[in-house]
Structure 1
């Protein structure tokens, strides 16, 4: 039974209406997810409103009023540009001490007298060195609580004049020796400096620029880099600031030793086998992060911290310290979930990370769902010096889809390696599949060797918005079918997903896959090695694996497959920035050969949520071939 509600008749009109409404909502200027009146912060300018009209019209009234009441000794009114008013209301002593109802008149007078100088000091941090500030007390004509009025004329904001960089230390020595790589890097550091001549000056921008320059040096080789001196010379008359920086790079750090700490039962060599650099390599922040991620991916350690010893005296042979906390020796997990592909599911898992004292991780898993059931046992060896891990896997699964029941058993022996961007897996597998329809039952077997390669060149692995993900597989084997016919075959598969930002706030995703099993027409291979289409991550609008050749009234696997998707997303604004609206078109099918191949289409709308574990996708898709609507729900990144 399909896990979907089917609507017929007015479906195309309904989808067109939904698309029009979505486009209108997403493209409307100033769309906000807020409802009701806008909330305000308490205790500053927001707790006492200005005039209502400027807020409705989007104009700045130029005044922030902290009204007086029985809890305050006086009211406060600050007049000036919006951003500067917020600064003054947040930091002026007049704003803080007004809450002291018992403050004396003498103390209020002192605060008023000190306010102009204090305000000018605050404004100088934003680059206003010629500000005019006046503070005076205004009595209430009705005899009530007085108001202190602060009038601010900031004058022009200072601009950066000349910027002078001087480099000292090992970096400067290499520059003098004519190192071309460092010359390019030094030019790049200066080119990325944000406070160029003519830029608006503020203390926060100055501090941020200095920190960013130093962080860039420290992240690649010069871990002890620091400033020998910095200066911001202000010419208040011309409203310019001359910046000077003297950077001492310190020595170039090179990796000399890797020290492992915190292990009790796991061999130290395992952590060393995951090191992604060689002794003597220049230090960089990236190689330490790569090492830390490799240790985390191994699933052997619950806590990982990789650091560099910053002792300049040992820079030529710097020590990398990996502090590890081992994962529990044994763990059990349960899971419950729902997928529109296969319905509700329940899972159990058990893992032992050193059975019988051997350097392997043993896992047992069981998953029971409405249309799919799976049981598996895996042995994964600890990472070796090459970075690869040996694996042994036994698995049995059952799938009811497209009117056919498929029972598959696999025994796999291979090796795997996972790095930051590339995953590799090669194995030899014996596979046996029984395909049962209403009128026929066949069992095919094969001995099959395969190589799988996945590359992820994206800006974010959890929710990519730019880049490319490729998945390539190539294998060959020897099959024995239900009619005792035997012979060789080959299997090829390629999938790619391209992520491309469009003019904000739009995004584009394009996905495509193509695959083929090359064999004699009369030779049967296990159905699990063939292809079907349809479902959440294939052609939406159709059931999971319900697209393909039809045999005896049931959908079975086909030797050829091609599917594709074009999807446009628009990011919401405000508090809903982790949500996206989507419109998409899917096309594709599986077939017995390319001559019989006929793609079917699905299209619809949906929403995306950028969750911590990957995108939550909810789609309403119309399958053109079947003339019905299907709901698709999935969560998590799919590579």
Structure 2
């Protein structure tokens, strides 16, 4: 009342009202009549609407089309509703998204059979197009952290005829060699999957060679906003430097948790992501420093880590990103802890302006991993031109470090500018950053976002 009458606004209001009603239980809702009487001399418009809501729809059985290679239970177990639940568009869209992400289907659609005659138990129509059982991909890539690489990935979506997916990834580069493997079941009740995974790697950074492997067995759960991972893990790591060598093993119980509330998972501009990790375990190992006696150590440890990223638009076409991460390993000494369990900073997604894993405490003049970690970042970005909304420029400030104790942690500062391409598979970022402590400019290249 009191607002100026505009035909476009009137049409938008009717469409929005009807869409909301149809999305929240009344799938057959329609306008019986709508009327706007305009009295120009009186500067007045009288509005009248009559709505036919139709019946309240409740969800019925799931009908599946397109299943040939893979068990139909892989579809039904990704649903979170049961017959008799009230219909909502969001429920079916979430179901469709899980089908698209499960790794078994090229495409999937979920629709309600909106026949008013079956509103009390409306069938849910699921159409899927299955992926091939065997798939191999080959790639050539580059990372500012580890340099050029060749990648080979293989997926078997029904390994040995089991209701399970096997994945293997091999990555080879001058400074980095990696194998990752995972065997995971098709979805189980309550969106859980059981998994077994392993990895082996060799990384050379700044005259240090880090080699190791790990094995995991656990369970994962993916919901629309929250991911959970519970697992037991065995880790082995060996670090060889010019003046030191460390080698350690650890066994631990772990819990990882990720929460996402974003306007777009691939290209976020508004929202929040949070990840947290906790581990409790036992480790043993040795540390050998040039001209010093070998140190043997063993004992229990606990590990905590958290990361928070906030996205927000502001002003006219300005976008901000803020990130903070912190971690600590609770143990009497680092000598018996695998290097991969401890923390370092520096690199594309940490403190730009510094080499990958270049920030941390020093032993015998060499950078090693520490028990504490704290980093943060502030970034502003804006489209370069209204004609090219997918291309942005950005300016940022990063700070942080890793240390053996909080009292020893002295943040290193990095700042610079960059370009962003908001591609269909995620943002491509190219940055030039100045590391204040090393007084050098470093280029950084990354694709996607980290949770």
2:417 matches 1:605: yes
Q: Is 1:617 aligned with 2:434?
A: no
Deviation of 1:497 (Å): 0.8
Equivalent pair of 1:201/1:241 in contact (CA under 8 Å): no
- Is 1:632 the counterpart of 2:444? The answer is yes
Give the paired residue count: 443
Once the 2 structures are TM-superposed, how far is the Cα of residue 506 of structure 1 from its aligned partner?
2.1
Q: Which residue of 1 aligns with 2:382?
A: 570
Query: Alignment partner of 1:424: what SS?
Result: strand
2:246, 2:335 within 8 Å by CA — same for their partners in 1? no
Q: Return closer, same or farther for 1:522/1:293 CA change in 2, 3 Å cut-off.
A: closer
The Cα of 1:279 is off from its aligned counterpart by 2.6
Superposed CA deviations along residues 216-237 of structure 1, whole A, max 9, x for unmatched, are 1101110000011122334455
**8 Å contact from structure 1 (residues 608, 617) kept in 2:** yes
Asked if 2 retains the 8 angstrom alpha-carbon contact of 1:403 and 1:554, the reply is no
1:140 corresponds to: none
Q: Aligned partners of 1:514 and 1:603: how far apart in 2?
A: 20
1:470-489 CA distance string (max 9 Å, x none): 01000111111125532110
Deviation of residue 277 (structure 1)?
2.1
Following superposition of structure 1 onto structure 2, how do residues 458-473 of structure 1 map, counting pairs within 5 Å?
A: 458-473=262-277
Q: 1:243 is matched with which residue?
A: 47
1:235-257 per-position Cα deviation (integer Å, ceiling 9, x unaligned): 45556443321111111111122
CA deviation string 1:24-61 (max 9, x = no partner)? xxxxxxxxxxxxxxxxxxxxxxxxxxxxxxxxxxxxxx
Structure 2 counterpart of 1:232, from 13, 24, 36 = 36
Q: Does the alignment pair 1:554 with 2:359?
A: no
Instruction: Provide the C-alpha distance between the structure 1 equivalents of 2:366 and 2:194, rounded to a whole number of angstroms.
Output: 39
1:601-623 CA-to-partner distances (Å, cap 9, x unmatched) read 11111122222111221111110
In structure 2, C-alpha distance between the alignment counterparts of 1:585 and 1:521, rounded to whole Å:
33
Partner residue, 1:201: 6
RMSD: 1.6
Q: C-alpha displacement at 1:599, in angstroms?
A: 1.1
CA distance in 2, matches of 1:522, 1:602: 28
Report the Cα distance in structure 2 between the residues aligned to 1:352 and 1:570, rounded to whole angstroms. Answer: 42
Instruction: Quote how far apart the aligned CAs of 1:346 are.
Output: 1.0
**Paired residue secondary structure (2:26):** coil
Q: CA deviation at 1:522?
A: 6.0
Residue by residue over 1:53-104, the C-alpha shift from the partner in whole angstroms, topping out at 9 and shown as x without a partner, is xxxxxxxxxxxxxxxxxxxxxxxxxxxxxxxxxxxxxxxxxxxxxxxxxxxx
Please tell me whether the aligned partners of residues 296 and 336 of structure 2 are also in contact (alpha carbons under 8 angstroms).
no
Q: Residue 402 of structure 1 contacts residue 555 of structure 1 at CA under 8 Å; is this kept in 2?
A: no
Residues 299 and 336 in structure 2, CA contact (< 8 A), matched pair in contact too: no
1:345: Cα distance to partner? 1.1
Alignment of 1:84-483 (within 5 A): 197-202=2-7, 204-235=8-39, 237-238=41-42, 240-482=44-286, 483=295
**Would you say the 8 A contact 1:619–1:633 is kept in 2?**
yes
TM-score normalised to structure 2 length: 0.94
Q: Is the 8 A contact 1:451 1:474 kept in 2?
A: yes
The answer as to whether partners of 1:253 and 1:317 remain within 8 angstroms in 2 is yes
Distance 1:638 1:479, change over 3 A: same
Tell me by how many angstroms 1:521 deviates: 1.9
CA distance in 2: counterparts of 1:574 and 1:567, whole angstroms: 20
- TM-score normalised by the chain length of structure 1: 0.67
Separation (CA, whole Å) in 2 of partners of 1:325 and 1:618 = 36
Task: Give the whole-Å Cα distance in 1 for the aligned partners of 2:16 and 2:35.
Answer: 16
Mark the structure with the bigger radius of gyration: 1
Rounded to whole Å, the distance in 1 between the matches of 2:187 and 2:200 is 26
* Structure 1, unpaired ranges of 5+: 1-195
Deviates more, 1:232-241 or 1:304-313: 232-241
* Cα distance in 2, alignment partners of residues 303 and 582 from structure 1: 35
**Cα distance in 1 between the residues matched to 2:272 and 2:429:** 20
Contact 2:390–2:421 (8 Å) recurs in 1: yes
Higher helix share goes to which structure? 1
* SS of corresponding position for 1:449: strand
- Cα offset, 1:370, TM superposition: 3.0
What does residue range 63-82 of structure 1 map to in structure 2 within 5 Å? none
